[in-house]
Amino acid sequence: MVAEPGTGEGVAEPDLDALQKKLGYCFATPALLRTSLVHRSAPNERGADCPESNERLEFLGDAVLDLVIACELFERFPQAPEGELTRYKATLVSETALAQVALRIGLGQHLILGRGEDETLGREKPSILSDALEAVFGALYRDGGMDAADRTIRKLFAVELKTVSDRSAPRGDYKTALQEWTQAQGMGLPSYRLVNTEGPDHAREYTVAVLLKKQELAQGTARSKREAERSAAQQALEQLTGQPDG
């Protein structure tokens, strides 16, 4: 049984067979995949049936993803300098990119959430989706080793890898782009303010607001203050110019 978003049935079991087909990988130990889908809001509600969240696997998967993407970029762009490769990697492993991949494989419908998180559309939250996808990568590594993780990650990110050079051009520096635009319009310089911090130390989420002349333009939420500022700047720029910046 798969939970329906927003129904409060956040403790329903995920369809592991369907998800494995999307991943293109069959787990020798399906319990690993199941654990990768358990949001931290669920264990308190399910007790012995759901004793562990996906946070440890997320920690592992984050490292596995970084290595696979770095190797792929190193091979794909043999002439690119280190700074350019760093920009590309930052684009590919960002919360936004991970959430897009997670949505494409329907990961949200398989998550095991607490009722409160499910009722507030947790299955659609980029932070939850991106964390869960990293946990899945951690489970892949534990189950099938680096080869299995490498093949799956490269396949899932095939679209993003083909377009990363366009999406990671210098204009992708949204903070600089926003500053240049507001200065050109005679509007002064934007500033950033930390609005909220939540989550445990190893999985903090930061919400940052970007302001112009003390008026809030937009907010961004991410796993680091820098990424949250970047997200806020991107949204503000899109609102001000009426079109996405790259």
Structural tokens at position 234? 């991107």
Among the listed residues 198, 231, 197, 196, the one whose alpha carbon sits nearest the alpha carbon of residue 217: 231
CA dist 145 and 122 (Å) reads: 30
Q: Do strands 191-198 and 205-212 pair parallel, antiparallel, or not at all (unpaired)? A: antiparallel
β-strand partners of 216: 211
Alpha helices, DSSP H only, in 4-81? 16-23, 30-36, 43-46, 55-76
Residue 134: active-site member: yes
Count of other CB atoms within 10 angstroms of residue 119? 15
- Residue among 55, 118, 134, 173 flagged as catalytic: 134
- Residue among 55, 62, 131, 143 flagged as catalytic: 62
Residue 15: active-site member: no
Ordered DSSP codes for 17-32: HHHHHHHT---SSHHH
| CB neighbour list of residue 195: distance below 8 Å, 6 or more residues apart | 207, 208, 209, 219
Per-residue CA distances from 167 to 33, 89, 151, 155 (Å): 31, 11, 23, 19
The catalytic residues are: 62, 134
